[in-house]
């Protein structure tokens, strides 16, 4: 999938600026598909505007820079549908974290711990994000499946990692912040 298709997909739900698209891909409702940087999003929008797949509404904001709100056009919806039908049929689980885990005996123990904890942090974060998303959702939408799938997979990853912690020679995770004595 390319950034154009990603942007069209986001715009199919609601109009958005390049900046907003980036945020949605980074953190928000559209963070589960592919990554995209400003350097790819802005050119994609410019190009799609030239191709008539999106239209733009410029909003002057007092005290803020010009904001360009892009909307998808009918041609854009057709292009999106088309792209959707041409996406590869399978998508594979790949993980660079696992690559690092594979060589755990070759890296410094403290680095291994940092990597492990970094991944854990991401997974717990992801889980909260999904929970949040779930609440602002009409039931039955495509987002429900996405979030359910994400929840199932991330939970399983967390569980397996917590179980493996000791066998990897790692300590239990340190308390996140100063928590009162118990």
Partner DNA sequence: CCTCACATGTAATGAGTTACATGATTGG
Partner DNA sequence: CCAATCATGTAACTCATTACATGTGAGG
Residues at the site binding DNA, with contacts judged by CB under 7 A? 1-4, 17-20, 23, 35-40, 42-46, 61, 63-68
3-state secondary structure of 169: coil
By beta-carbon proximity to a copy of itself, the closer residue of 57 and 78 is 78
Q: Looking at residue 14, what DSSP letter applies?
A: S
Nearer to a copy of itself, 59 or 95 (CB): 95
112 close to 104: Cβ distance less than 8 angstroms:
yes
Q: Is 159 helix (H, G, I), strand (E, B) or coil?
A: helix
- Which member of 19, 20, 32, 49 binds a copy of itself (CB under 8 A)? 32
Residue 171 DSSP SS3:
coil
Length of the chain as a residue count: 182
Q: Which position among 53, 54, 73, 126 is part of the footprint of a copy of itself (CB under 8 A)?
A: 126
Decide: 118 and 101 in contact? Cβ < 8 Å: no
121 binds, among DNA, a copy of itself, none (CB under 5 to 8 A by kind): a copy of itself
- Assess 38 for contact with a copy of itself (CB under 8 A): no
Which residue is listed with tokens 């066998």? 167
Q: Which tokens go with 166?
A: 């000791």
Token duo for residue 6 = 């990603």
Residue 40 binding partner per list DNA, a copy of itself, none, with a CB distance cut-off of 5 to 8 Å that depends on partner kind? DNA
Which positions lie near a copy of itself, rule CB under 8 A?
A: 1, 6, 9, 12, 31-35, 77, 80-81, 84-85, 87-108, 111, 114-115, 118-119, 121-122, 126, 142-143, 145-146, 148-150, 152-157, 159-161, 164, 167-168
């Amino acid at each position: 999938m390319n950034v154009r298709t990603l942007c069209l997909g986001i715009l199919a739900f609601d109009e958005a600026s390049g900046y907003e698209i980036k945020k949605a891909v980074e953190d928000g409702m559209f963070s589960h598909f592919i990554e995209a940087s400003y350097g790819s999003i802005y050119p994609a929008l410019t190009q799609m505007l030239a191709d008539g797949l999106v239209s733009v509404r410029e909003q002057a904001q007092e005290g803020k820079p010009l904001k360009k709100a892009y909307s998808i056009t009918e041609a854009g919806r057709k292009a999106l549908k088309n792209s959707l039908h041409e996406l590869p049929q399978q998508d594979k689980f790949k993980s660079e974290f696992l690559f690092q885990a594979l060589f755990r005996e070759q890296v410094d123990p403290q680095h291994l711990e940092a990597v492990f904890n970094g991944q854990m942090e991401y997974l717990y974060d992801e889980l909260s994000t999904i929970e949040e998303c779930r609440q602002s959702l009409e039931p039955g939408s495509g987002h429900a499946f996405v979030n359910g799938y994400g929840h199932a997979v991330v939970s399983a990853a967390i569980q397996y990692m917590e179980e493996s912690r000791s066998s990897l020679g790692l300590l239990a995770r340190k308390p996140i912040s100063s928590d009162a004595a118990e």
